[in-house]
Chain A
Amino acid sequence: MAYEVNGTTVEHDEEGYLTDLNDWSEQIALEIAKNQQLEMNEERWEVVNFLRNYYDEYQVAPAVRVLTKALAKTMGPEKGNNKYLYELFPYGPAKQACMIAGLPKPTGCV
């Protein structure tokens, strides 16, 4: 299974997570988002970029609870809450946003 962007193919698993996170690019992110029926806007990019930075530093995709707490700290409580995140990513912020960010599925995410 693979995404196709500009003539290149990028492997993903049965759920849609990238096999190799080094394959990620903004174009791939747009393609994954399209598959998830999501249109990328500034707010969604903000969360996706936050996740990529978090992964870069800690080598782990944060659980939702950790993500909301961390967002609240850096961007304020109006963005660091479940309602805001589920409005942006209705099938689960950890799941969908991590997928778009090219990260593995968060540990403990069922």
Chain B
Amino acid sequence: MSEAKKFLYVNRKAPYGTIYALESLEVVLIGAAFDQHVSLAFVDDGVFQIAKGQDTKSLGVKNFSPTYRALGDYGVTKFYVEKDSLDERGLSADDLMEITYEDENDGFAEKPSIIVVTKAEMAEVMRDQDVILSF
């Protein structure tokens, strides 16, 4: 098998109202099942995808927000969130869901997956990837 590549999925849109967030999540689940290095980025309205307390009852669509918390089990342990996007929307890291993973190399200690980064740091993260997919 060829070597695993580094994939970054860039999420730019609010979770409900369009199909982009769900489609991205499904591709992430599939990609991770094939043992690739998968990370996620949340910019612009995409930061709402991992915001706490989503309730889709009155929309009549499935609430898939809890699924982000399962991604640690799939080996997806890095959620890069752009700080400017949070600030512009009056959000802070406290408004985001608690998303963690268990570090196999550190006695399965629970560690946070969310990393808040500046625009410049996000650019560095992107530079480091083999494949970038934007949703």
Contacts and interface: CB of A to CB of B under 8 A. Distances in A.
A42 interface: no
Interface residues of A, number: 14
Contacts, number: 38
A52 B62 CA distance: 16
Interface stretch (B3-11, B42-50, B69-77, B78-86): B69-77
A59 B26 contact: no
B29 A60 contact: yes
B118 interface: no
A63 B74 contact: yes
Interface of B: 26, 29-30, 33-34, 62-67, 69-70, 73-74, 108
A66 B74 contact: yes
A58 B67 contact: yes
A59 B74 contact: no
Contacts of B63: 59
Given A58-B67, A63-B74, 20 more contacts: A57-B69, A58-B66, A58-B70, A59-B64, A59-B65, A60-B29, A60-B64, A60-B67, A60-B70, A62-B70, A63-B29, A66-B70, A66-B73, A66-B74, A69-B73, A107-B26, A107-B30, A107-B33, A108-B33, A108-B34
A8 to B, nearest CB: 24
A60 B71 CA distance: 10
B62 A65 contact: no
A70 interface: yes
Interface of A: 54, 57-60, 62-63, 65-66, 69-70, 73, 107-108
Contacts of B29: 60, 63, 107-108
A69 B102 CA distance: 11
A66 B34 CA distance: 12
A60 B66 CA distance: 8
A66 B73 CA distance: 6
Nearest to B26: A107
B66 to A, nearest CB: 5
A66 B26 CA distance: 15
